[in-house]
Amino acid sequence: MLNATLTATTAPAARSKDSLGCLSNQLGRDLELDTGEFKFYRKSTVDDQASAVAMHGSDRGFLIGVSLKPGHRRRIYSAHRWTTHDFSQDSVYIRDFADDYKADLQRGFDFVLIELSRAFIANACYERNGSNVARLATLAGRNDPTLGHFAQILSLTLDRKSEASPLFVEQLGIAVGTHLLDQYGDTACSSFSKTRRLSSLQETRAKDMLLAKSQGSVSIEEIANACNLSRSYFIRAFRETTHRTPHQWLLEQRIDRARDLLRNSDYSLSQIAIACGFSDQSHFTRTFSQLVGTPPGTWRRQAAG
């Protein structure tokens, strides 16, 4: 796995590789979502066939892998010695692409991976406290339930890319980056000023911007700039003020609008889905059922008495 080339070859050199250097014919699942600022991947092997990977350093940034299941093992060469790491579910590795990398992947894997640019880490540090240090600790095999939770969400998002809200994906990337800086960032980067609430004007402006854009296409950066805040600070302050993330708040507003239309109009479910900013009726039904506890058609019949 990883952005790598196989060091031992008996098969033809022309075998195709994916965007991270994995041999495509060894992957049972190969999904990618490129937002421009973050890249998310889901990579899993067909079987437990071993492979060796090696790559030279580059300026791509950092790669974070989160294991979705136990059983993977890899030997990594670093500081003139080999170390072996076993991965359980929620085990994590962090790679700095600037460093040369060499590893034996001894068993199959199922990983969600997050690629963050060095510029993203530097900007996130600067937003926190004016430091432009861009370093994360490199590690392998450490258990991190929080990243494990993010990975589960990302795996579902990758499976349903067509339904993924840009606003939600942006928030998820920022949340992952914030956690990484908190837990594994350089000391100069890991501190963050105490969260504050939005002012009434900022709260109103943020909510108006969220509601004004259809399909969640407004970005956190746009809203944060309008409030004269950094993105990370804005998300924390919005959550402190509303007890919701911007995406959660927007979903609740759409569901409230949908309930009003279900009760007071004869629109079809597909018409209501589009009117309320959902990608299609299926997406609307799933979201409504999750938040309300019953499908929209059933809710409409019950509301009609």
pLDDT, tens digit, 9 for 90 and up, residues 257-302: 999 999 999 999 999 999 998 888 999 999 999 899 999 999 999 9
Q: For residue 169, what are its two tokens?
A: 């994906």
Q: For residue 41, what are its two tokens?
A: 């991947």
Which residue, 180, 189, 171, is CA-closest to 133? 189
pLDDT of 222 strictly over 80: yes
Q: How confident is the model at residue 187 (pLDDT cuts 50, 70, 90)?
A: low
d(CA 104, CA 52): 4
Where does residue 256 rank: exposed (0-12), middle (13-18), buried (19+ CB within 10 A)?
exposed
Instruction: State phi, psi for 33 to the nearest 5 degrees.
Output: -135, 115
| Residue 87 β-bridge partners | 72
pLDDT, tens digit (0-9, with 9 covering 90-100), for 88-109:
999 999 999 888 888 888 889 9
What's the fold here for domain 5-188?
Jelly Rolls (2.60.120)
Nearby residues of 80 by Cβ (< 8 Å), 6 or more positions away: none
Domain segments of the chain: what residues?
A: 5-188, 193-243, 250-303
Among the residues of the chain, which ranges form H helices? 118-129, 145-159, 166-184, 187-190, 200-212, 220-226, 231-242, 246-264, 269-275, 281-292, 296-303
Q: Does 1.10.10.60 match the CATH number of domain 250-303?
A: yes
pTM (predicted TM-score): 0.67
- Tell me the C-alpha to C-alpha distance, in Å, between residue 86 and each of 73, 80, 178: 5, 20, 26
Contact by Cβ (8 Å): 253, 264: no
The one-character DSSP state at 17 is B
Which residue, 28, 81, 74, 34, is CA-closest to 50? 74
Q: What integer is the mean pLDDT of 147-176?
A: 89
Which residue, 21, 262, 305, 66, is CA-closest to 172? 66
Q: What integer is the mean pLDDT of 217-224?
A: 84
**What pLDDT score does 21 carry?**
63
d(CA 255, CA 93): 38
- Cα dihedral across residues 55, 38, 34, 70: positive or negative: positive
| Residue 110 β-bridge partners | 44
SS3 call for 18: coil
d(CA 62, CA 262): 47
Q: Residue 249's Cα: distance from chain center in Å?
A: 19
- The CATH code that applies to domain 193-243 is 1.10.10
Q: For residue 36, what are its two tokens?
A: 């421009």
Q: How confident is the model at residue 190 (pLDDT cuts 50, 70, 90)?
A: low
**What pLDDT score does 294 carry?**
93
Where does residue 105 rank: exposed (0-12), middle (13-18), buried (19+ CB within 10 A)?
buried
pLDDT, tens digit (0-9, with 9 covering 90-100), for 33-66:
988 888 999 999 888 888 777 888 888 889 999 9
Torsion of CA 72, 75, 76, 82, to 10 degrees: 160
Question: Could you check whether 193-243 and 250-303 share the same CATH topology?
Answer: yes
